[in-house]
Amino acid sequence: MRNTIRLLISCRDARGIVAAVTTFVAEQGGNLLDADQHTDLDHGEFFMRVAIERAGFVLTPDTFGPAWQPLAGRFDMQWSIHWGQPVKRVAILVSKQGHCLSDLLWRRRSGELDVEIPIVISNHPDTADIAREAGVPFELRPVMPGTKAGQEREVLALLAAAQVDVVVLARYMQVLSPEFVRHYPHRIINIHHSFLPAFAGGAPYRQAYERGVKMIGATSHYVTEQLDAGPIIAQDAAPTSHRDTIADLIRKGRDLERMVLARAVRLHVEDRILVSQNKTVVFE
Amino acid sequence: MRNTIRLLISCRDARGIVAAVTTFVAEQGGNLLDADQHTDLDHGEFFMRVAIERAGFVLTPDTFGPAWQPLAGRFDMQWSIHWGQPVKRVAILVSKQGHCLSDLLWRRRSGELDVEIPIVISNHPDTADIAREAGVPFELRPVMPGTKAGQEREVLALLAAAQVDVVVLARYMQVLSPEFVRHYPHRIINIHHSFLPAFAGGAPYRQAYERGVKMIGATSHYVTEQLDAGPIIAQDAAPTSHRDTIADLIRKGRDLERMVLARAVRLHVEDRILVSQNKTVVFE
Amino acid sequence: MRNTIRLLISCRDARGIVAAVTTFVAEQGGNLLDADQHTDLDHGEFFMRVAIERAGFVLTPDTFGPAWQPLAGRFDMQWSIHWGQPVKRVAILVSKQGHCLSDLLWRRRSGELDVEIPIVISNHPDTADIAREAGVPFELRPVMPGTKAGQEREVLALLAAAQVDVVVLARYMQVLSPEFVRHYPHRIINIHHSFLPAFAGGAPYRQAYERGVKMIGATSHYVTEQLDAGPIIAQDAAPTSHRDTIADLIRKGRDLERMVLARAVRLHVEDRILVSQNKTVVFE
Amino acid sequence: MRNTIRLLISCRDARGIVAAVTTFVAEQGGNLLDADQHTDLDHGEFFMRVAIERAGFVLTPDTFGPAWQPLAGRFDMQWSIHWGQPVKRVAILVSKQGHCLSDLLWRRRSGELDVEIPIVISNHPDTADIAREAGVPFELRPVMPGTKAGQEREVLALLAAAQVDVVVLARYMQVLSPEFVRHYPHRIINIHHSFLPAFAGGAPYRQAYERGVKMIGATSHYVTEQLDAGPIIAQDAAPTSHRDTIADLIRKGRDLERMVLARAVRLHVEDRILVSQNKTVVFE
């Protein structure tokens, strides 16, 4: 992915966009590795992701904007370009449970997730060892009654100092304030341990147990100001039975959570996600 | 299944129940084909399903009760016994869409579902041909504004005349009144086209589309007086993407609905389901 | 799909193909509904599927070829175009078991599969009723020892007379001769009741049972001269356990077979499949 | 699980076994937590797993045998009893890739896998850090041309010294000799990175890629003298597409391997598996 430039586009649907974009890329010496597009017919919106081989493409971060602007202006595009390097900087926020943290660290180590993880922040000390073993700075920022606003300011300062691109809530059991969320629009990824919109809020496994469902799920989504209601990136589900206690659901759920969160983070850092109308377009 | 006797038991948990029940069966010449039990530790409840080979078992529908009663009384059991023959009589209620109806009829024809289907009842004429081709009487009972109560009485009369054991709502788009439900406690099986408790009520595929979920589901449950809130028997889910229109969700959902409903009906007619605390114990 | 023109392309990979194709479409007044491409880096091959809205596109079946040829020639393309109408004509070949046949007929009836089914051919009479009820001509062509070659000639004559585009082997338990296969290259779709390449050949459920696998599968593939070795279109699998007898595997497998075959047929008739190197590129 | 006694039984099928066993347990003050049985009708074999609450059960490791023997003798049972404590001792053998090792260590740390892991043995140094961070002794025993027999003897000596109950091959890329296998009959668990029996032997992801399958799988099985042909414990599969390179299959496969191996190990250490006729009976 480091040698792949990603261009994300959204605009009103119109004829000729794909031809215009791919012709532009070809004219700039770009080898098209992938081009995906989608039209939301309900809203007349067009979405596109273009992956261009770095070698041969004559434009640079400095020269791309001026060259591209006429075309972007013609279709009134919203767009962003991602040059593959440097890789994205990911902060992980966590509470007591370390399974998602461990999993993400392992995927970075194995090379599967090509990111920097400059910081792990937690409101509990339980996962400090996991971060330390992986060589990642661990910052403890507890939340006490009445200190939440102050704690959030500290966390924001840490994130700013670490220059992170994206914040992953890897079972961070705190609701973020709207102010916090606004600092990272569609750049905070949460894992919720249920098949949303079922069992939003607290204790979803208990809720699932009490309802007697025959499958449990996990949902990764961008955090918005409304709790558990942001654009969904990835979901999965697994069968359960009457034999499963809440502890069994938690155990089975951990595997779902790890897989679904890792998938969402990978999709995000590979610039495969566009957001519109509180929904995601995911180009895989 | 016709040569298998099924005994379903629930009672307070206590030591020695399994030994007592299996010893009883052995003493009556019964070959135990299967014995499944479950203890709900939260409520101290015990559940058991025993499958006995008909050949060799000396008791009959007439003599079983008196022989069994002392043991049942000792543990204060709720119990039922099912002799495998005659097979269960299943009524199918349907509205405009015939996919679940077709599927159930096909499964009966193939021998997979060993039941009688003496009647199909609908509030619309659309599926009359499907029933006719399968040789099943089709009764049209439309619902007009203000005629719902009368229509329900007519449907109940048809069900009574057909002597049905269980009522399957194969996409019957009418909410049954509490009075109706009380006639068939835990004997009305519905298929809801969502992953309950998500998207209860009307238009679940539209709700799913608007929420932007990445999987859709289907849920089969016993109907209770509270809409879409009865004990869940079976669920399944399938992946979706931003490319799926509502029509695509409906298409994908049809396959889920057919599979999940067929599964629930099979579990019910094989006497594999016990209900407690608005949840099911399913012995497979 | 009837108002969507599909253009399928394969050629050596080169820069500018996507731009050239989409520019051509735009210049001919075509609204691009979908454009998918794939590059097989191992073999340097490029694949593309373009879906164009019929309305507005100025070319016709008569004028497309001459207009397109210069571009096709420039990249040395193999290509085909499908105008959406008339819909494809599908023959179904079947033996004793009717579940896949019933399912495909039901999907056509429901509108999910937008095809003509002018003929059902079988070497056994068992499914004649299913075809008759659906109003499709049923032709019985038994295979006796020594009559196979003659029977194949008769079947080919029937297929030719019915002017079919594609032949679906919906559990047709006869191995087709290479001569037969050559009449419909990559246009005969088979369902094999195992997770190929495991359990190729006869009695796959028995093989699966004896091996003690914990999942069974189904595979739909194009038929080639080599038995069960053609390009795979779709596969699925489902869990099993030690409790499953061969009869249970057959029952569970029927649902897999129906789903997987229906999926492969839908992909084929929507012109979503390209074949190369005995593998499929499936644009969904 | 530490306070649960597990009794595993297999014998010729006969009437009254369940009654006899459960009566015995009740008479010894045992509270039956679970009782699962299965009859293999093909071979007339009976299998049973009984879980007994430790508290109240009057027998001990010393007194159980004499008390149980009359009943075991009557039915000519093969049986084993597992007292829950001390927990099982698991050796992990690994080569260059650490994903399965990391996963098992993490599951032990989280408490999900209640075992001792006294040793990690590898023929390569690559995973030494992973073992060290988890505080588990790591023994490097390389295999050179001509040294395989000697290396196996050393490994056996290490296993014996560590007093392990079960050996887990967590992507150990060496074929074990029949002599080695005979030391741990049905106590060596392997993970094979394909959906066996498809793609046995080396490079299964390459084989899968070249065959163009639409799903990949993973299989955990007991090691027997015949390569990749032992009794299967668990399998799973995941969808793939033409876009997946071999590297993508490897990435997707890692998650399958981790899940499937962890599941097999958990089933084994909870004494939920019986082996017969090269197949497993798995009581979940």
SS3 at position C271: coil
Q: What's the rounded Cα separation, in Å, for the pair D51 and A174?
A: 40
CB contact under 8 A, D212 and C280: yes
Q: Find the domain containing B45 and state its range.
A: 4-82
What are the phi and psi torsion angles at A255 (to 5°)? -65, -40
The interface predicted TM-score of the complex, written ipTM, equals 0.94
* Chain C residues in contact with D189 (beta carbon < 8 A): none
Cβ–Cβ pairs < 8 A, chains A and C: 36
List residues bridging with A218 in a β-sheet.
A236
For residue B111, the domain's CATH number is 3.40.50.170
d(CA C244, CA C251): 10
DSSP assignment, residue D274? Answer: E
Total tally of structural domains belonging to chain A: 2
pLDDT digits (tens, 9 = 90+) for D90-114: 999 999 999 999 999 999 999 999 9
Tokens of A199: 């069992």
The answer, yes or no, to whether residue B21 has pLDDT greater than 90, is yes
Q: Is D229 exposed, middle or buried (0-12, 13-18, 19+ CB in 10 A)?
A: middle
- Cβ atoms of B234 and A214 within 8 Å: the answer is yes
Nearest to A23 among C19, C35, C39 (CB): C19
Convert the pLDDT of each residue in B78-92 to its tens digit. 999 999 999 999 999
What is the token pair recorded at C192? 């094999």
In a shared domain, residues C51 and C150: no
- Give the domain-ending residue among D32, D52, D82: D82
* C130 and C250 within one domain: yes
**Mean per-residue pLDDT over chain B, rounded:** 96
Task: Note whether D144 and D228 are same-domain residues.
Answer: yes
In the predicted model, is pLDDT for residue A1 greater than 90? no
SS3 of chain C: helix, strand, coil, percent, to 5: 30, 30, 40
* Nearest residue in chain C measured CA to CA from A27: C16
Does D15 contact B33 at a Cβ distance shorter than 8 Å?
A: no
C40 is known as an active-site residue: no
> Between D38, D233, D235, which is nearest C243 by CB?
D38
Percent of chain A whose predicted confidence (pLDDT) is above 70: 100
User: What is the residue-wise DSSP string for B11-79?
Assistant: EE--TTHHHHHHHHHHHTT--EEEEEEEEETTTTEEEEEEEEESTT----TTTHHHHHHHHHHHTT-EE
* A146 and A24 assigned to the same domain: no
Residues from chain B contacting residue C259 (CB–CB below 8 Å): 255
Same domain membership, residue D32 and residue D105: no
Structural domain ending residue among the three candidates D42, D65, D82: D82
Residues of B with CB under 8 A from a CB of C: 98-99, 102, 106, 110, 112, 133, 243, 251, 254-255, 259, 284
Shortest alpha-carbon distance between residue B191 and chain D (Å): 27
d(C-alpha B41, C-alpha B35), whole Å: 19
Considering the domain architecture, whether residues C136 and C76 belong to the same structural domain is answered as no
Contacts of B25 in chain D (CB under 8 A): 19
Tens digit of each residue's pLDDT (9 = 90 or more) over C110-138 = 999 999 999 999 999 999 999 999 999 99
- Amino acid B102 reads S
Contacts of C196 in chain D (CB under 8 A): 198, 211, 213
Cα B281 from Cα A72, distance rounded (Å): 59
The sheet carrying D89-94 orders its strands as: D138-140, D116-122, D89-94, D166-169, D188-192, D215-222, D232-239
* CA-based nearest residue in chain D for residue C196: D198
Closest by Cβ to B35, choosing from D18, D26, D33: D18
Please name the amino acid found at residue B57.
Answer: F
Q: What is the pLDDT of residues A208-229, one digit of tens each?
A: 999 999 999 999 999 999 999 9
Q: What is the pLDDT of residue D68?
A: 98
Token code pair at residue D232 = 């299967």
Contacts of A198 in chain B (CB under 8 A): 195-198
Contacts of B1 (CB under 8 A, 6+ apart): B84, B114, B270
**Whether residue B72 has pLDDT greater than 90:** yes
Q: How far apart are the C-alpha atoms of A225 and A190, rounded to whole Å? A: 13
Contact by Cβ (8 Å): B284, D38: no
Give the domain CATH number at C49. 3.30.70.260
* Neighboring chains of D (3 or more beta-carbon pairs < 8 A): A, B, C
How far apart are the CA of C25 and the nearest CA of chain A, in angstroms? 8
The model's pLDDT over A228-277, given as tens digits with 9 standing for 90+, comes to: 999 999 999 999 999 999 999 999 999 999 999 999 999 999 999 999 98
Give me the residue from D197, D213, D282 closest to C235, CB to CB: D213
User: C205 to chain A nearest CA, in Å?
Assistant: 24
Predicted local confidence at residue A41, as pLDDT: 85
Instruction: Give one DSSP letter per residue of D82-126, joined into a string.
Output: E-S-SPPEEEEEE-S--HHHHHHHHHHHTTSS--EEEEEEESSST
- Residue C224, Ramachandran bin (φ over 0: left; ψ between -120 and 50: alpha; else beta): beta
To the nearest whole percent, how much of chain B has pLDDT over 90?
96
What is the per-residue pLDDT for B200?
94
pLDDT at D41: 85
Give the integer Cα–Cα distance in Å for D50 and C5.
Answer: 63
Q: How many CB atoms lie within 10 A of CB C34?
A: 17
Answer whether residue D145 shows pLDDT above 90: no
Instruction: Give the pLDDT band (50/70/90) at residue C31.
Output: very high
**pLDDT, chain D, mean:** 96
pLDDT at B143 exceeding the cut of 90: yes
Identify which of D110, D243, D255 has the shortest CB distance to residue A99: D110
Report whether pLDDT(A73) > 90. Answer: yes
**Whether residues B266 and B146 fall in one domain:** yes
Whether residues D99 and D46 fall in one domain: no
pLDDT band at D175 (very low <50, low <70, confident <90, very high): very high
Q: Residue C23 and residue A25: Cβ atoms within 8 Å?
A: no
Q: Read off the pLDDT of each residue in B18-39 and give the average, rounded to a whole number.
A: 95
Contact at CB, B214 and A232, closer than 8 angstroms: yes
* A214: closest CA of chain B, how far (Å): 6
Q: What is the pLDDT of residues A99-149, one digit of tens each?
A: 999 999 999 999 999 999 999 999 999 999 999 999 999 999 999 989 999
Quickly count: other Cβ atoms within 10 Å of residue D75's Cβ.
Answer: 19
pLDDT category, C76, cuts 50, 70, 90? very high
Indicate whether D122 and D248 sit together in one domain: yes
Q: How confident is the model at residue D42 (pLDDT cuts 50, 70, 90)?
A: confident
Do B167 and B237 reside in the same domain of the chain? yes
Beta-ladder partners of C144: none
Q: What pLDDT score does D236 carry?
A: 98
pLDDT at C42: 86
Rounded to a whole number of angstroms, the distance from the CA of D125 to the nearest CA of chain B is 41
What average pLDDT does the segment B168-181 reach?
Answer: 96
pLDDT of residue B1: 83
D175: its two tokens: 């074929």
Distance CA D238, CA B214 (A): 17
**Do D52 and D149 share a domain, yes or no?**
no
Put simply, the answer to whether A213 touches B233 (Cβ < 8 Å) is: no
Report the alpha-carbon distance of residue A5 to residue A81 in Å, rounded.
7
Domain boundary among D53, D82, D111: D82
**Predicted confidence band of residue D87 (pLDDT cuts 50, 70, 90):** very high
Based on the number of CB atoms within 10 Å of its own CB, is D118 exposed (0-12), middle (13-18) or buried (19 or more)?
Answer: middle
Euclidean distance between CA atoms C254 and C108, whole angstroms: 19
* pLDDT score of D193: 96
Whether residue A65 sits in one domain with residue A21: yes
Distance from C-alpha of C113 to C-alpha of C210, rounded to nearest angstrom: 37
Model confidence at D177: pLDDT above 90: yes
Cα–Cα distance, C72 to C81 (Å, whole number): 12
Rounded-to-integer distance, Cα D50 and Cα A278, Å: 51
